[in-house]
């Protein structure tokens, strides 16, 4: 084989190896982008379902939505505690009895998602007796509060839930330090 033919063969082989290498890197990058985009869709879906949970299920007292968004073996800790959906749903329904029109979670000023986890701060409103001096007997007022929920999701349902709340009066929550 001539020297020039050998050099040409080597150059062609190197170009082929380089082309395969670039193609493989592009395919790996494409897979990473697809995985990232799929993960973002799951995170966005979890945040949307969390909006439904708070605004329709909780504030709207919609037990079906509330139960649909939690797994049957959900573990709940914090302001409420439960080891299954039945207890968590019963506790929520007991609380619903005290919610007046317009009470509950009214906004989510902070919503974060990372993988299977979401963290949501909710602004809450509750109707309470007006205890200010001179208030008419039986008059009510709206009280502002905040809640923080950390949720771990599995297959579109909350599997673990950590609840913290601040009802707007006493220093009963660590959130008092962070939300004014």
pLDDT at residue 29 greater than cutoff 50: yes
pTM as predicted:
0.74
Q: What is the mean pLDDT of residues 100-107?
A: 87
For 147, counting Cβ atoms within 10 Å of its Cβ (0-12 exposed, 13-18 middle, 19+ buried), the class is buried
pLDDT at residue 140 greater than cutoff 70: no
Label the pairing between strands 117-129 and 104-114: antiparallel
- Report the alpha-carbon distance of residue 1 to residue 140 in Å, rounded: 99
Which residue from 54, 69, 168 is spatially nearest to 111, judged by alpha carbons? 54
pLDDT in tens, 62-94: 999 999 999 999 999 998 899 999 999 999 998
Q: What is the mean pLDDT of residues 127-145?
A: 72
For 62, counting Cβ atoms within 10 Å of its Cβ (0-12 exposed, 13-18 middle, 19+ buried), the class is middle
Q: 6: pLDDT confidence band, cut at 50, 70 and 90?
A: confident
What element of type H or E holds 16?
A: helix 3-52
pLDDT of residue 180: 45
User: CB 174: neighbour CB atoms within 10 A?
Assistant: 10
pLDDT of residue 105: 92
CB-based contacts of 72: which residues, under 8 Å, 6+ apart?
84, 85
Give the residue, 31 or 112, on which the prediction is more confident. Answer: 112
Q: 171: pLDDT confidence band, cut at 50, 70 and 90?
A: very low
pLDDT of residue 30: 83
pLDDT of residue 129: 67
pLDDT at residue 175 greater than cutoff 80: no
The single residue listed with the structure tokens 């309470």 is: 128
Q: 170: pLDDT confidence band, cut at 50, 70 and 90?
A: very low
């Amino acid at each position: 084989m001539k020297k020039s033919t050998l050099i040409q063969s080597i150059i062609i082989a190197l170009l082929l190896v380089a082309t395969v290498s670039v193609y493989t890197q592009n395919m790996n990058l494409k897979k990473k982008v697809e995985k990232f985009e799929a993960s973002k869709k799951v995170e966005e879906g979890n945040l949307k379902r969390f909006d439904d949970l708070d605004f329709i299920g909780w504030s709207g007292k919609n037990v079906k939505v509330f139960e649909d968004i939690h797994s049957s073996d959900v573990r709940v800790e914090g302001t409420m505690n439960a080891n299954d959906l039945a207890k968590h749903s019963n506790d929520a329904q007991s609380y619903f009895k005290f919610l007046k029109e317009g009470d509950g979670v009214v906004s989510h000023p902070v919503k974060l998602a990372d993988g299977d986890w979401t963290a949501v701060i909710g602004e809450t409103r509750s109707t309470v007796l007006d205890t200010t001096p001179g208030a008419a007997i039986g008059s009510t007022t709206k009280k502002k509060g905040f809640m923080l929920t950390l949720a771990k999701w599995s297959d579109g349902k909350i599997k673990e839930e950590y609840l913290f709340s601040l009802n707007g009066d006493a220093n009963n929550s660590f959130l008092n330090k962070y939300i004014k």
